[in-house]
Structure 1
């Protein structure tokens, strides 16, 4: 219903919004795939080329049905992307968003906490997904593999989750160097050459999102996580900025929300702040082609905060 509402309310002259079915689940439920970007300025060839050649951002959520907070963060992201704010329009002009809002519809509908109808954790099936048992993972991975094959690798992949023990919002990323150092491998981490760009987006979010905590982030790839979306998209697909974004089920122990139980407003705010973070990332990675004034980004940041203030 939420996607239908967004689709019916958007301005088709300004926003390209497309809702497809990625696949059907084991029980025949549809798994939606949403595409959002800005419409081309005109039908001129150069504008169409610019429209087609925008970099991709791939987002997914709710692979674990019990992590309901992930859907509230996704709601904040979707509503921000479909909004009329100047920075949302700039963001749509920068990227093509491919979004799977719910990777495990069967689990959500049937009240599961972590598994699908096959009784398996779908976030441990990314290495070798079975098209019959894990169709949503199989087709999501297939779409990412296709984008890689046609040289349109996403700039960012992020899978939204909820965390039952840790506080705040934070990210897990992937780093060879930090993993080697953490595991005390015989190979010296000093010998590993690695672009540290994977830290940029979390660092941005730590400055603009009050619920986000950089010190809780980790970029170590543990053996037990080898078959998760984050690690497979990084290792197999080749997306350097591949993340899991975890939102607390409890509350925050730092920033302006310290000592408060996190609510739906704060989670939606985090989804919107994530979008602002992507815009700032664009400014840092393509400073010559993109020149949105930082004052506008700061103004947008203040607007989000004022609209999501908590009254206790």
Structure 2
């Protein structure tokens, strides 16, 4: 319906970005009127393949796939102008290739205009992500918008862009302002389209004398890679925060610069970033799956980085400790780490230390998203490749930060990352601080006696006052008085020597000793020797007969042996003992088993006391007490 195939178009949808395409209503031609929207994505990092008018105010937008690869379609960045005052539109992005994302949670598109250059997120109530029957049941991202200024040019993007030109400008600025040569900027290689692969080297260690270098042993190297995927723009903000912190004046940064060497590659895929791709380079290959097959002609940036790391790894001076690849994530919240698994238990335990320290430093870290694996599908990524091809001392990680937001302390509320990248800068600073804690943890750097927390400044107003003791006094109610009745303890002799010696003569277990009836094979430790000279007991107190008879003990007296219940139990036990004596004649022992007598404790049954029998029990106790006296 729309005149999207006019001479202004860059061809059919999907072959290239739209370039100043004016969408006219059906039946109209000639000069475009105000309100006939003009779409443009023919600029650096731009991505929009086609735009169709399907209603009075509704447009279907088709994302351009990555160059030479139709699989990946998620990144978009385009402008709209020639709008009418208070014109309302509904944009449908109909061909997103990644259905699992955060559009239904916290991720919403960004917008800015020529008069308001700061990125702002669209209201969540105006953004919808759903399956559409009109689009072959594919997922569609729809967002409503109202243009409020006719002369403005509006720009929409899925995340704040970070272009190749912006990186070059930033590197030029920090290179011009440094006075004491805190880093060295060099070009490691050229891309397929002849763009620079920049390398920042922060090395204050090698400049020292050779003697001190020998005293230190190996010089530890930390390698940071970023922007392998062009659509991971938040990773560039995190990398910039990392660089700003390291070359700054913070004492932690000075300590790290003086002890370690940092190699930072801020943009591994400059061609893909310039073209506005989502994952691939110019020739349509995902660089984070081709590290093991990188060639000098098809993947010159990977080839140069790989050779640099191999040279450092084979050096007699340097030792690579970390290779960290920075990425952005479209489907999970917060900041987290992907690591490897190793068959060597000690290496795996050492590999877990850095993520735990990073979790303690980063307020937005999500431990549930952290994962350690050796997936065969990821064998071509930097994390998997370098942990296998370099020395065992190398820890290779992928650090991911969300495109949407992070959870607050309550675990439910999602705080969005700021559009200008400030919170992403903080992620980079937290990453740099974690290196200090890691090297203190493994005793490479000394742990200071005094905490590095900033001391309270003089004459600084106190923001927190110690809570004074409350003057309110509460009356303590006394406990109600209760009648106390002490239960007498009746015992024969508790002086038992629990001897567990190994000799069979002293009551220890011996394989040659016959097993008493009712005891198990490993019950030899139950046989003890009494310390006083009493006669040996010829039966096992843990035998089945003795255990069964113990249930009648509660019928006995409460004072030490009197009462009707006691006589019944005594008569019953006398009959059972006679029966046991007859049956025990057939059992012979090679030597008597020394066992202690069974001590017993007679107390008042509290259950009976609570049933209203207190007077009867107390009277029985008094009678027994007078009887003994």
Classify the TM-score, shorter chain. Answer: 0.7 to 0.9
State the secondary structure of the residue aligned to 1:255: coil
1:250 aligns with 2:416: no
Which residue does the alignment assign to 1:221?
Answer: 374
Higher relative contact order (Cα pairs below 8 Å, separated by 6+ residues): 1
Q: 1:261 to 1:23 in 2, by over 3 A?
A: same
Question: Shift of residue 44 of structure 1?
Answer: 4.6
* Structure 1 residue 49 displacement after superposition: 5.5
- In the TM superposition, what whole-angstrom CA distance separates every residue of 1:5-50 from its partner, at most 9, and x where no partner exists? 22222232xx53111111000000010011013367x865435657
1:193 matches 2:359: no
Partner of 1:262: 417
For 1:299 and 1:275, locate their aligned partners in 2 and report how far apart those are by CA, in whole Å. 18
CA spacing shift, 1:174–1:44, aligned 2, 3 Å: closer
When the two structures are superposed, what TM-score results if normalisation uses the length of structure 1? 0.84
Structure 2 residue 446 is the aligned partner of structure 1 residue 290? yes
Instruction: Find out whether 1:54 has 2:219 as its counterpart.
Output: yes
Contact conserved, 2:362 with 2:427, CA < 8 A, in 1?
A: yes
1:113: Cα distance to partner?
1.0
Whole-angstrom CA distance in 1 between matches of 2:366 and 2:256: 24
Q: Indicate conservation of the 8 Å contact 1:250/1:262, yes or no.
A: yes
C-alpha contact 2:182 2:247 (8 A) present in aligned 1: no
Q: Summarize the Cα distance change of 1:51–1:265 in structure 2 as closer, same or farther, 3 Å threshold.
A: farther
Structure 1 residues 147-172: Cα deviation after superposition (integer angstroms, max 9, x where no partner): 11114331111000000101111011
Q: Is the 8 A contact 2:205 2:261 kept in 1?
A: no
The answer to whether the Cα contact below 8 Å between 2:219 and 2:319 also exists between their aligned partners in 1 is: no
Equivalent residues in 2 for 1:101-116, closer than 5 Å: 101-116=266-281
The secondary structure found in structure 2 opposite 1:155 is: strand
Residue 58 of structure 1 aligns to a residue whose secondary structure is strand
For the pair 1:5 / 2:173, whether they are aligned, the reply is yes
Q: 1:256 to 1:154 in 2, by over 3 A?
A: farther
Residues 249-284 of structure 1 deviation map (CA, whole Å, 9 limit, x = unaligned): 111124389411112111100100100000111101
Do the aligned partners of 1:204 and 1:280 also contact (CA within 8 Å) in 2? yes
8 Å CA contact 2:240–2:428 kept in 1: the answer is yes
Match for 1:236 among 389, 397, 407?
A: 389
1:147 to 312, 320, 327: 312
5 Å-filtered alignment, 1:162-201, equals 162-177=328-343, 193-195=345-347, 196-201=349-354
Offset of 1:173 from its aligned partner?
Answer: 0.7
In the TM superposition, residue 137 of structure 1 has moved relative to its aligned partner by 0.6
What CA distance in whole angstroms lies between the structure 2 residues aligned with 1:274 and 1:103? 19
Indicate yes or no: 2:252 matched with 1:87.
Answer: yes
Alpha-carbon shift at residue 72 of structure 1 (Å): 0.4
The whole-number CA distance in structure 2 between the counterparts of 1:269 and 1:157 is 20
Q: Does the aligned pair in 1 maintain the 2:328–2:400 contact within 8 Å?
A: yes
Root mean square deviation, CA, Å: 2.3
Change (3 A) 1:105 1:293: farther
Counterpart position of 2:297: 132
Higher radius of gyration, 1 or 2: 2
- Tell me the equivalent position of 1:28: 194
SS of equivalent to 2:224: strand
Name the one with the larger helix percent.
1
Q: 64-73 or 263-272, which moves further after superposition?
A: 263-272
The 1:134/1:32 distance shift into structure 2, 3 A limit, reads: same
C-alpha separation between the residues in 2 aligned to 1:228 and 1:283?
30
Q: Partner residue of 1:207?
A: 360
Q: What is the rounded CA distance, in whole Å, between the counterparts of 2:381 and 2:307 in structure 1?
A: 15
> Alignment partner of 1:109: what SS?
helix
Report the alpha carbon displacement of residue 3 of structure 1 after superposing the two structures with TM: 1.4
TM-score by length of 2: 0.43
Q: Residue 157 in 1 paired to residue 323 in 2?
A: yes
Provide the C-alpha distance between the structure 1 equivalents of 2:179 and 2:185, rounded to a whole number of angstroms: 15
